[in-house]
Structure formats: structure tokens, C-alpha cells
A and B are shown apart, each in its own frame.
Chain A
Amino acid sequence: MDLDPSPEQAALEQAVAKIDDYGALADGGYLDAVRDAGPVEGVLVVEHAAAALVDGPVAARVLAGPLAGVTDLPPTVGLVQLDPAQGVGSAHRAGGLVRWAPVCDAFLVLDGDRTRLALRDDVEVEPVESAFGATYGRVTVHRADDLGPGEPLRRAWRVAIAAEAEGLMLAAVAKTSAHVTERHQFGRPIGAFQAVQHRVATAYAMAMGTRWLARRAAWYATDDFICASAAAYACEAAQFTYVNTHQVTGAIGITSEYGLVGWTTRLLGLRQELGGQRAHARAVVAARRAMAKPWPSPLPLP
């Protein structure tokens, strides 16, 4: 293993770090980073776009589609999980609000155990107001082309959740670290208090855990266990980061002008995707139980 970025990856990071606009990502060819360079490059693009709060479905378009094997996609793609209770029929309602739905040209649809592709004219989108850092919509899928089994998309979606989450978390932690260093109360920076330091340090450690797990998941995108673990851990780390960055930032943290909410509200939105943390956790166990073990248990059984 070599976990240092290659010169090409370092150059990619430098280039993407200057971009805070979806159109510029598309114009620069960065939406096809997975196809053109590899899965880690896709994660790097998503990390930076998340930190820069780029508006648009970056993680879906850059990671989820290509890692699921769908590379011929229009510039904007939404991710839809159909409500299994609706069954297969002429009109399927998404199981929840769909992030970025009002701006998407196409939708990758997880329909039970199948992956489908619906174009904009194949769906009905009802925009929904939301405070959670993105435009949302209720999506009804009228028709969609079958692309194959659903598991590749389910895994890829989980990788996308983890990669976006770690980019958001590390940006929120960086903002918070600067704040607690500059903000003085009781005669000293509040970041000098261990009670504050440890909250920020723990958030950083969990965000870094998500980062390296997301990168591993992208690399091993056919591994159910790693991909589900990445999404489950990302959800937990996101919740911790949301709570603790706001706690040490104080009231200023809830204002739009200050900016912390840009990252934290998106984190809370991500936590709701694909069934959320509990569904990811159940998938982790199912995958683990299906794995072959090299050894009998190193603990005696009853």
C-alpha cells in the first residue's frame, strides 16, 4: 500500500481545490474522474467539492454512477430509492425526498434488487423546500430502463455518502478549529480548554476515520462489508461532528452568515439517504456473515 497521493493525484487536488461551482467541475472534466483516472481520484474530487459546498449532485455523478458501472451519464444525476411497498408499476414514488432532484437531468433508480436509469422526461419532480443544504424534490418514476442488479448501485451510493460526508466534516472541523483559537472567553481562547479541545479532536479523528474508510471503500467498491461499513461509520461521525462543532462554536454557529451550517446541514441530509445509519449497519452484519473466515473463532465456543 502507498497512501501518499501520486503526483497526478496531488495535481488533481490542487486543481479541484480552486473550484466551487458545479459547471466548472463539468467543464474541467472532473465529473468523469473515476472513468478517466480511478476510484480514488473520484473520492478526491468529491472531498474537495463537499468542502467547497458546491451546489449539485457531485457525489452521485462522480462516484455513485461510475462505481456502479454506469459511466455514460448526463452532467447531473440524482439517486432515487423506490419505496419497496409501492411495488413495480407504472408510477413509483421515491422512498423519501431526493437530494438535488429539481436540477437533475437523469436519475439512477434503486428499485428493489435492480438498478434502473430514468431520464428527466421519465419522472415527475415536485420541488420541496428544505433547510438541509440542498434542493430537494419528491420524485415519481413513470418509466426507467433496467441496467442490471441493484447491489452495485447500493454499494456505490454508500461510498458516495461516506466520501461526501468526510469532505463536509473535515471542512466543518477546520472552521471550528479556527474559531475556538480566535474566540476568547474567560481571558483566553476557548480552544485552550480541554473540554473544547477534546470535542474538536474527536470530531477530527472520526472524520479522518471516515476519510480513509471512504477511500478504501471506493477502492474495494465490490466489497459489501467495506462499503456498508463506510456509510454506517460516516453517519455516526456526521452526527458527532454536527453536535460538537455547533456546541463549541456557540450561537453564532446557527447563522447563515457564519457558514458552519453549510456543512452541518448537508451532513444531516446525508444521514437520511439509503435508509440511513441503521440500514447501513444491518447491511454490514449481513455482509460479514456471508464472508469466509480463515480461522475458527479464537475464543472458545460454548
Chain B
Amino acid sequence: MDLEWTDEERAFRSELRAFIDAHRRPGWSHHEREMPVPADRDAVLAFCAAMGAEGLLTPHWPTQYGGRGASPWEQTIVSEELWAAGEPRGPQYMNVNWIGPAIMLAGTEEQKRHHLGRISRGEAMWCQGFSEPGAGSDLASLRTAAVRDGDVYIVNGQKIWTSYAHAADHCALLVRTDPTTSGSEGISILLVPMDLPGIEVRDIPNPWMTHVVHETWFTDVPVPVSCLLGEEHQGWEIVRQVLANERVGIARHECAERTLDATVEWASAEGVDVDEPSIAEILGMAYATCEAARALNYAAVHERTVDQGSRRPMAAVSRAVTGPMETRVAQACLEVLGPEGLARHSPAERQLLMGTTGPIAAGSLEVQLNLIARHLGLPKG
């Protein structure tokens, strides 16, 4: 076991910090990351293009696809540093972590040529069309239909929680191409340009901010057959193989710790004595939980370096601690800030969103616990 960053990794982190310092829009914060106005989207794309030019956006990708074959640890460093800096990449985690790898795994040469270069150069912004009103944790029950009609699929259906759909230029869309099937059979993946006719993105109002969640409607959308990823009806296998990558290595621990730091600053500015034992104990346990999540996240990244299969228990274990960590940090922010935490744009407001959605998004906490139960050999219900 070697728990130390290598000299190369430390140098990479320093290089990255200098890059962020030079290219991040002054004053950038996690609020802008949601891109509520077009100027924020422009800033995200400019930042990503600069990262792409330096080879920093997809360092862990193979060289033939615009990466430089770096280890997943460098990807982790990228995630930690950028989340700590307000994530000026916007929603690149989807393209970089799993959509790109899915295209590498199952894409045609044309798809690889078209999409992978754009992603690694920082020119692309994707959303993922997975959940539906009737298909959340049970994702395989999805019903959005794609019916083959000559050279196109005609897509009809509704997706929900399509984060960043308002700004995305493509959607990785799960559809049912065989209407006679149910469950994981008969599902395909379409790489859908978001400017096709018949796609409508609606904001879903919530108390925290606009543009963070959306529903996306598909009405007779003609998607070229060339957008099919992999074989028709075999999309679930691709999803199963790459979905374990979806959130592995995302540095939620780093973001949560920085939010706690911001809470300490806010509270101090408001005259709260954060060294008072009852307050320090709340903050201390929140920080400690972040460190447990960090340690498990590293274990999950390591698991990914040694096992590219889809059964990775540490990914589930990591997420079973990380989700509740988000909630705990939110509670700490609120308790420490008191009524000041209710103000718009306070750290508590931001973190409450993370704490509420963290244990739900991308496979609920309960699903992770079920996976752990399987790992422990507990009987199926």
C-alpha cells in the first residue's frame, strides 16, 4: 500500500492550480456553475476549451481519443481542485466520466471521431436522459419509445431530472426500441443532438435556484439511426458497464469541506463564535464525515484502476457514506449559521440542495445499500 501522491501527481496538482488561477472567471462560484444565464455557459465553455488546449480535461483518456493515458488518480485530482474552485467546468463530469467512455466502448468510428474530439477539446456539453416520471430507482422500467422509421428513430416520451438540459448540445438518451419487452431488455442508447425539432426543455421550479433540474419532452423527434450507440436493444449492457464510472472520483468531499469552510467564514463574519464547543463539535463531525467519504472515494478510484468490471463494491460503499455526508454537512451549515443560513446564496442554501439530492441522484442510497448487502452475501428479499 502506498497512500502518497507521487511527485508527478503533486506537480500536476500545482500545474492545475496555476491553470485555474489564470483561467477561472473572477468571482466564479458554485452558483454560476448552474449556468442560470447564457454568459455563464459561455464562461464554462471558454474555461473547458482552455482546459482542452492544455490536455487537462480528459487526461485519463487514451491518447488516440484526445487524452494522454494518465491514471484515474489524475482525474481525481482534476475533480478535487475544480470542485474546490466552484467547478468552472460546469457539467463536464457526464461527458468526461461516462459518456465519452461509453462511446469508446460501443461507438462507431464516425461517432468516436465526431464526439470524442469535441469532448476532449472542451467544446461539448451533454446532459443525460435517464430518469422518467415512472422510472427512477427502477431505471429499467423506462418507457420513452424510439420507433424505427427508415433512417430515423421517432422518439416520444418524457425524461425528468435532466440536469443541465437547458445548456446541453447533446443528450445521452435511454429509449425503449423494442415495445414488446420490459425491464432491461429492448433498451437502446441514442446520442441525440438537442437542437432537433420536437425537444422541449422545461425548468422544474424549486426553492433553491433555477436551471438546476429540468424535464425534457420528446414529441415525434426524428433521431438519425447514425445516433444509435452500440447495437439496437443492447443499451442496458453498455449502461451497466459504464454507469459505475458515473460518479466515481467526483470530489463531493472536497466541495462539502469547502462549503464548511465558507460556513465558518460566514458565521465568523456574523459574530458567531465557531470555537464554542457545541458549534465546533457539529462542524468537526461534519468535516470528519467528509474525510471518511474522501478515504472511501480514493478506495473506489483504486478499485477502478485494478478492476474495470461493473461489480465494484467500493463504489457502492463510497456512495453509501458520501450521500449522507452531504446531508450532514447541510445540517451543520444550517445549525451553525442559524437564521442567517436562510438567506439567499448562503452556504446552507447551497448545501441543502446537495444534501437533499446527494443520497438520491444517480442511484439512490437505498440502491447502494442493496448492492452492499449483495456484497456481504445477505439473502435476496
Contacts and interface: CB of A to CB of B under 8 A. Distances in A.
Contacts of A2: 1-2, 302
A154 interface: no
A209 B293 contact: yes
A198 B373 contact: yes
A286 B274 CA distance: 10
A230 B288 CA distance: 7
B3 A215 contact: yes
Contacts of A205: 296, 317, 320-321, 369, 372
A22 interface: no
Contacts of B284: 228, 232, 280-285
B149 interface: no
A147 B378 CA distance: 50
B264 interface: yes
B261 interface: yes
B1 A4 contact: yes
Interface stretch (B24-32, B34-42, B122-130): B24-32
B1 A301 contact: no
Nearest to B285: A281
Contacts of A299: 29-31, 86, 258-259, 262, 345, 347, 350
Interface in B171-189: none
B299 A212 contact: yes
A189 B379 contact: yes
A258 interface: no
B39 to A, nearest CB: 17
A191 interface: yes
Nearest to B269: A302
Band of interface residues on A:
35 or more
B287 interface: yes
Contacts of B370: 194, 197, 201
A213 B295 contact: yes
Given A205-B317, A299-B29, A181 B377 contact: yes
Interface in B289-330: 289-293, 295-296, 298-299, 302, 306, 314, 317, 320-321
Contacts of B261: 288, 293, 297
The interface centre, meaning the residue of B20, B317, B345 with most chain A CB atoms within 10 A of its CB, is B317
Given A1-B2, A228-B284, A299-B350, A201 B321 contact: no
A200 interface: yes
Contacts of B369: 197-198, 201-202, 205
A177 interface: yes
Contact of A213 (B84, B264, B292, B320): B292
A181 B379 contact: yes
Interface stretch (B208-216, B225-233, B275-283): B275-283
Interface in A162-221: 173, 177, 180-181, 188-189, 191-194, 196-198, 200-202, 204-206, 208-210, 212-213, 215-216, 219-220
B381 interface: yes
A9 interface: yes
Question: What is the predominant secondary structure among interface residues of chain A facing chain B?
Answer: helix
Nearest to A288: B287
A5 interface: yes
B296 A212 contact: yes
Contacts, number: 214
Contacts of A180: 378
Contact of A9 (B1, B84, B258, B295): B1
B12 interface: no
Contact of B1 (A40, A194, A226, A300): A40
Question: What is the predominant secondary structure among interface residues of chain B facing chain A?
Answer: helix
Interface residues of B, number: 72
A278 B288 CA distance: 12
Nearest to B33: A298
Interface string A138-176: 000000000000000000000000000000000001000
Given A198-B366, A209-B293, A1 B378 contact: no
B258 A298 contact: yes
B85 interface: yes
Contact of A204 (B20, B28, B372): B372
Contacts of A230: 288, 291
Contacts of A55: none
A6 B277 CA distance: 42
Given A201-B373, A229-B287, A294 B84 contact: yes
Nearest to B289: A233
The interface centre, meaning the residue of B4, B258, B280, B376 with most chain A CB atoms within 10 A of its CB, is B376
A251 interface: no
A98 B343 CA distance: 48
A85 interface: no
Contact of B298 (A189, A200, A202, A212): A212
Interface in A1-18: 1-6, 9
Contacts of B151: none
A236 interface: yes
Contacts of A193: 381
The 5 closest A-B pairs by CB, nearest first: A281-B284, A298-B86, A209-B292, A212-B295, A284-B284
Interface of A: 1-6, 9, 40, 173, 177, 180-181, 188-189, 191-194, 196-198, 200-202, 204-206, 208-210, 212-213, 215-216, 219-220, 225-226, 228-230, 232-233, 236-237, 277-278, 280-286, 288-289, 293-295, 297-302
Interface of B: 1-5, 17, 20, 27-31, 73, 81, 84-87, 255, 257-262, 264-266, 269-270, 274-275, 277, 280-285, 287-293, 295-296, 298-299, 302, 306, 314, 317, 320-321, 340, 343, 345, 347, 350, 366, 369-370, 372-373, 376-381
24 contacts: A1-B298, A4-B302, A191-B373, A197-B373, A198-B373, A202-B320, A204-B372, A208-B296, A208-B299, A209-B292, A209-B321, A213-B295, A228-B284, A236-B285, A281-B288, A283-B284, A294-B81, A295-B20, A298-B87, A299-B86, A299-B262, A300-B27, A300-B31, A302-B340
